[in-house]
Structures are given as C-alpha cells and as structure tokens.
C-alpha cells in the first residue's frame, strides 16, 4: 500500500482558452473542469485508477468539496478536520499548451494540527510500502516539516517503516534532504529544483537542456545518501540516478493539453513499477510514460496504467 500526504490540498480548476491569454480582456473559455488536487492527492488518484492500493492523508473537513470528489472517484482517504474550506487553484491553458497557474496560499496549520497530522500518518503507514510527502506546505508550517514527519515515522515503525518519497520545492525540499535522520529514499525534482538543491540555482536552464549534466548533478545528491533521484526535464523526459546506475528516458512526442499534474503522474508511474518489482530503469520508463499520458489529458485528469505507452519511451543508459 502507498500512503500519500498532501499537507496543502486544493480544488484544481482548469480553464482552456480558445487563443492566447490577454491581460485585461474578457475571454470566453472553451472548456472548464475541476478535480481534487495537490500533489499527494493527484498521486493517490493515479494509483487508484490503476487499481493500486493507496490512502491519501490530508487536512480538510468531512463535507469539503475536495473530499466529496475523492469519494466520488473511490479514492480512499483519511482526513483531519480543520474548520475551513480547502483552497482553490486556477490553471489557465492556452492552445499551444502554455500553462498559467494561480495558487491560493491554503489554510494555516498550527503546531497542534501539525502534531495531529503526524500522528495520523504514523497510524496510516503501519502496513505501507511507501509514504509520499508531496506538495507545498501551508502557512504556519515550518519548512522542515517533511523531515520531522520522516523521523517520526521511522522512529515509530522501526524496520517496518515505509520507503519515503518527497516531491516538493523551495525550502521544503532543501530541508527534506539536509537532515540525515529524515533523508528521503526518493526525490523528484525538476531542473530548477535540482539546481537549487546543489547550490547552483543559475544553472537550471543548462540542466534542462543537458541530460549528462542533469545526471551528474543528481549524482551529487545520491552521494549525500538519497537512494534515487528522479529528475524530470519537461519535454526531454526524465533522468534517474541511483547508486547502481543512471538512465535517461524520453517519450515520443505527444499533443500537450495540460502539464498540470504530469509530474505527479510521473511519480505515480515510478511507484507503480516499483510495486510490480521492476528494475530502476523500468521504473523510469513507466514514470515517463505516465507523465506523457497525463500531459495529453485535460485539466488534472490522471491516466490509467493500460492507457500509458511505455513502448513509446526510448531508454538510454548514462555513463557517469
């Protein structure tokens, strides 16, 4: 079973425009959809549609629209009531795939709520194979919260503790990889986040255009003790670096409808393959296949495993 934490969930509303976005104009949308969101929620949804056991843990009241949507989709969840509506995020998509996001900050979580959320995770991960800590942290939560959770889970579960994946950004990602006791087993940075993690933020555009440089940079993090770095590179696919090797995978071109949630689905694809007992390289292939399938769908819809095309992915081993 895979447990996901979404500390700052959202209702994701996606609007598709007939043409270019113009500031100050009145534009009639061609299509509008809404899906329950936040990185951990998206990952749980992607796992559920492919019949993999998952539980999404998130703050939110029982009758909130996000939780109602999860019930309708059949996604198992455990929620912590907060007495306030879950935030809404707005995504505007232009015909060429250009995506503009407007994200609300989310409801604050005080120290008591954070401790309650951590206890909830300890309870839910007792028989889990993976715990995914994903997305931004809401106001009031310190940037080292994911490390705090990781340490608490490992202290409580001991040898039975799940593997831990982290998919976040900024200070939350930096702090997640800096504490040895709370070090994740897997991280999924994009090029900009990867450059920031190694202290060279100005290099992110170079990383996005260079598979070899991305792999070498990811290897620096593996040397620090992270088991695997899954570095996404947009249309160039993704790189996976572990202590046992490095690989690049790229999908054949697809018509992009929305990139929102594609990275979340990439991580879901990796986890699905890992649960199936596949090799690291095969996990990378499925990650790229899942991400590409998600990018070809509107809004934050998630692909079923059978609709992905790993056979359209080119895999190359990288010599470091």
Which CATH number goes with the domain that contains 194?
3.40.1190.20
SS3 238: strand
Alpha carbon distance 275, 176 (integer Å): 24
Of 232, 40, 218, 204, nearest to 136 by C-alpha is 40
User: 127-184 pLDDT, tens per residue?
Assistant: 999 999 999 999 999 999 999 999 999 999 999 999 999 999 999 999 999 876 778 9
Q: Catalogue the E-assigned strands of 50-123.
A: 54-59, 77-80, 88-93, 99-103
Beta carbons within 8 Å of 172's beta carbon, 6+ residues apart: 136, 137, 143, 145, 146
Q: Catalogue the E-assigned strands of the chain.
A: 2-6, 10-16, 31-37, 54-59, 77-80, 88-93, 99-103, 130-134, 163-167, 186-187, 228-232, 238-242, 245-251, 313-318
User: 255-281 pLDDT, tens per residue?
Assistant: 888 777 889 999 999 999 999 999 999
User: 40-99 pLDDT, tens per residue?
Assistant: 999 999 999 999 999 999 999 999 999 999 999 999 999 999 999 999 999 998 998 888
Alpha carbon distance 299, 294 (integer Å): 9
| Per-residue confidence band for 204, with pLDDT thresholds at 50, 70 and 90 | confident
Read off the tokens for 127: 């028989």
The mean pLDDT value for 193-215 works out to 87
Of 255, 205, 209, 200, nearest to 236 by C-alpha is 209
The answer to whether residue 299 scores a pLDDT higher than 80 is no
**How far out from the chain centre does Cα 294 lie?**
13
- Tell me which H or E stretch contains 73: helix 65-73
User: 220-265 pLDDT, tens per residue?
Assistant: 999 999 999 999 998 899 999 999 999 999 999 998 887 778 899 9
Read off the tokens for 160: 């039975």
CB atoms within 10 A of CB 95: 12
Which residues on neighbouring strands pair with residue 102, listed in sequence order?
90
**How far out from the chain centre does Cα 280 lie?**
18
Task: Record the pTM.
Answer: 0.93
Alpha carbon distance 167, 288 (integer Å): 16
Task: Report the mean per-residue pLDDT for the chain.
Answer: 94
User: Would you state the torsion angle of the CA atoms of residues 94, 262, 304, 74, taken in this order, to the nearest 10 degrees?
Assistant: -90
Residues 220/198, Cβ–Cβ less than 8 Å: yes
SS3 182: coil
Please give the angle made by the CA atoms of 257, 70 and 256, to the nearest 5 degrees. Answer: 5
The domain total for the chain is 1
Residue span of the structural domain in which 137 resides: 2-21+28-318
Length reported for the chain: 320
SS3 190: strand
156 phi-psi bin (left φ>0, alpha ψ -120 to 50, beta other): alpha
Alpha carbon distance 58, 79 (integer Å): 5
- CA end-to-end distance (rounded Å), the chain: 34
Residues 131/3, Cβ–Cβ less than 8 Å: yes
- The pLDDT value given to residue 96: 86
């Amino acid at each position: 079973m895979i447990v996901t934490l979404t500390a700052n969930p959202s209702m994701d509303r996606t609007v598709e425009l007939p043409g270019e976005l113009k500031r100050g104009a009145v534009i009639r949308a061609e299509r509008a959809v809404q899906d329950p969101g936040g990185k951990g929620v998206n990952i749980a949804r992607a796992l559920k549609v492919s019949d993999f056991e998952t539980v999404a843990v998130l703050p939110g009241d029982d009758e909130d629209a996000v939780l109602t949507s999860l019930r309708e989709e059949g996604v198992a969840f455990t929620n912590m009531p907060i007495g306030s509506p879950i935030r809404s995020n707005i995504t505007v998509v232009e015909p060429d795939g250009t995506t503009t996001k407007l994200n609300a900050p989310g409801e604050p979580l005080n120290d008591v709520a954070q401790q309650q959320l951590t206890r909830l995770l300890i309870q839910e991960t007792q028989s889990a194979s993976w715990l995914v800590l994903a997305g931004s942290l809401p106001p009031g939560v310190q940037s080292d919260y994911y490390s705090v959770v990781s340490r608490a889970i490992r202290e409580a579960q001991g040898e039975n503790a799940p593997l831990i994946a982290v998919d976040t950004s900024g200070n939350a990602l930096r702090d997640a990889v800096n504490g040895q006791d709370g070090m994740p087993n897997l991280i999924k940075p994009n090029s900009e986040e990867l450059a920031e993690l190694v202290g060279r933020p100005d290099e992110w555009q170079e990383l996005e255009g260079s598979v070899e440089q991305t792999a070498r940079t990811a290897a620096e993090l593996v040397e620090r003790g992270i088991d695997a770095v899954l570095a996404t590179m947009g249309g160039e696919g993704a790189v996976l670096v572990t202590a046992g090797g490095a690989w690049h995978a790229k999908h054949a071109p697809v018509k992009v409808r929305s990139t929102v949630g594609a990275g979340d689905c990439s991580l879901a694809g990796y986890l699905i393959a890992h649960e199936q007992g596949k090799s690291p390289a095969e996990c990378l292939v499925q990650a790229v296949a899942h991400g590409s399938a998600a990018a070809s769908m509107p809004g934050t819809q998630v692909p079923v495993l059978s609709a992905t095309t790993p056979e359209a992915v080119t895999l190359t081993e990288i010599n470091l």
